[in-house]
Amino acid sequence: GEDVEQSLFLSVREGDSSVINCTYTDSSSTYLYWYKQEPGAGLQLLTYIFSNMDMKQDQRLTVLLNKKDKHLSLRIADTQTGDSAIYFCAESRGDKLIFGTGTRLQVFP
Amino acid sequence: DVKVTQSSRYLVKRTGEKVFLECVQDMDHENMFWYRQDPGLGLRLIYFSYDVKMKEKGDIPEGYSVSREKKERFSLILESASTNQTSMYLCASSLSQGSNTIYFGEGSWLTVV
């Protein structure tokens, strides 16, 4: 179908790495995005990757893109309690963004 | 800083009422979007607009309409609210066609009773 899919929940211990996975559908997507939503707030753009890249690193965040499998992942190193939020992946289709269901990351001490 | 402002954070409306959700952006962006967010469904696009007086249907336009009379303002209208429209509504904007950054407002929680 046309869905961008993510698992709904992820729970990690503080200090560990978190890996949030996403599968998308449109092989012609130019950009793929990760957004973060904290409780009661809108979405903030965390990072994005251009479709001709395999990997992008930005401080504690690493994005991996497997175009063959249409798989995108976000790794958060040294996860902190402040990273607890919902994380959405999104793919660009023309001028629209199509979002996944969101993964709720819970970080426990 | 880009600012997308949704005028109402929390609304409670009765079934059958007409509801207006207002969104304003201050960065002269061409594109504006309305999404709704529901648990387990992520964000779904309702309508978007490339320019003043232009609108395009998104994935779930039924029961909604929009208005873009000025570039900075994009309104979402529920002509006759129903309980299944209880949701979080998110407005967003981006600079132009092909822009790779979309900015979101804080969201409007609408409850229809």
Q: What is the residue-level pLDDT of chain A in tens, covering all 109 positions?
A: 457 899 889 999 999 999 999 999 877 778 899 999 998 888 999 999 988 889 999 999 999 999 999 999 999 999 999 999 999 999 887 777 889 999 999 999 8
CB A31 within 8 A of CB A88: no
Q: Is the pLDDT of residue B4 over 60?
A: yes
Chain B residues touching residue A101 (CB < 8 angstroms): 40-42
Q: Which of the residue ranges A3-17, A87-101, B7-21, B81-95 would you say has the lowest mean pLDDT?
A: A87-101
Q: Count CA atoms closer than 13 A to B59's CA, side-chain side.
A: 15
Chain B residues touching residue A48 (CB < 8 angstroms): 100-101
CB B83 within 8 A of CB B110: no
Residues of B with CB under 8 A from a CB of A: 4, 31, 33, 35, 40-45, 48, 50, 58, 90, 92, 94, 97-98, 100-107
Q: Is the pLDDT of residue B63 over 60?
A: yes
**Alpha carbon distance A19, A41 (integer Å):** 22
Average pLDDT over residues B25-33: 93
User: What's the pLDDT score for residue A1?
Assistant: 42
**Nearest CA-CA partner of B70 in B91, B49, B85, B88:** B49
- The pairing of beta strand A9-13 with beta strand A103-108: parallel
Q: Is B45 exposed, middle or buried (0-12, 13-18, 19+ CB in 10 A)?
A: buried
CB A31 within 8 A of CB A50: yes
B40 to A8: CB separation less than 8 angstroms, yes or no? yes
Residue A82 to chain B, least CA–CA distance (Å) = 18
Structure tokens belonging to residue B44:
């779904």
Instruction: Match 């992520």 to its residue by tokens.
Output: B42
**Alpha carbon distance A69, A47 (integer Å):** 20
User: What's the pLDDT score for residue B97?
Assistant: 63
Q: How many CB atoms lie within 10 A of CB A27?
A: 10
Q: Is the pLDDT of residue B100 over 70?
A: no
A43 to B104: CB separation less than 8 angstroms, yes or no? yes
- Residue A41: closest CA among chain B residues belongs to which residue? B106
- Residue B4: closest CA among chain A residues belongs to which residue? A42
**Nearest CA-CA partner of B78 in B56, B60, B102:** B60
B100 to A98: CB separation less than 8 angstroms, yes or no? no
